[in-house]
Amino acid sequence: MDDLNALVNPSIGALVVALAAACALLLVLVLLLVRRTSRLDRRLRGVTRGAEGRSLEAILDAHLDKVYAVARDLDDLAARAAVLEANQRRALQRIGLVRYNPFEDTGGNQSFALAVVDARGDGFVVSSLHARAGTRVYGKAIAGGRSESALSAEEAEALRLALASGTDATRSG
């Protein structure tokens, strides 16, 4: 036993320091693990909020069902958006308006040519000629950006404005 005491006594200080360092390292590791565990516990409580008495598996299944429902709704909305886009291309959306004065005895540019077409250039041109004796209204069909009937200069300009615009276009004069 004296041999053992003789061996341990000179290195007891180093042994105590080594054990203290190991204890300090283990304490730091324990604190890090406690912090990580509390973070995981908070996350788990966030996932299981409102699910008292249910297992984690049941909660995750419910969340997964909700994800699938949202995916189905998203697919449905994408299909509806495609239908709306197709319908929108056929909607009358491009407008060209030219106001003018065809007769010298009237003023105020009360006559007009109005062209309304869809994205494919299908639609119509309406012209109104205002004179002192009365007002006349004419309509002409437009298909593919062209009319089978001859267009006046103002009607042609209104059609050009409509075809050139994605939105409204107006010219007076």
Partnered with residue 130 across adjacent β-strands are 135
Domain membership flag for residue 171: no
Q: What is the pLDDT of residues 146-163, one digit of tens each?
A: 999 999 999 999 999 999
Tokens 């598996």, residue? 57
DSSP 146: B
Based on the fold, state whether residues 72 and 13 are members of the same structural domain: no
Q: At what angle do helices 2-47 and 56-90 cross, to 10 degrees?
A: 40
Based on the fold, state whether residues 72 and 22 are members of the same structural domain: no
Domain region containing 84: 52-90
Q: Are 59 and 47 in contact (CB under 8 A)?
A: yes
- Spatial distance between the Cα atoms of 156 and 106, rounded to a whole number of angstroms: 22
Q: Are 108 and 116 in contact (CB under 8 A)?
A: no
Q: What is the pLDDT of residues 103-150, one digit of tens each?
A: 777 777 889 999 999 988 999 999 999 888 888 999 999 999 999 999
Model pLDDT, residue 7? 66
Domain count, the chain: 3
Tokens 């709704």, residue? 73
Domain membership flag for residue 16: yes
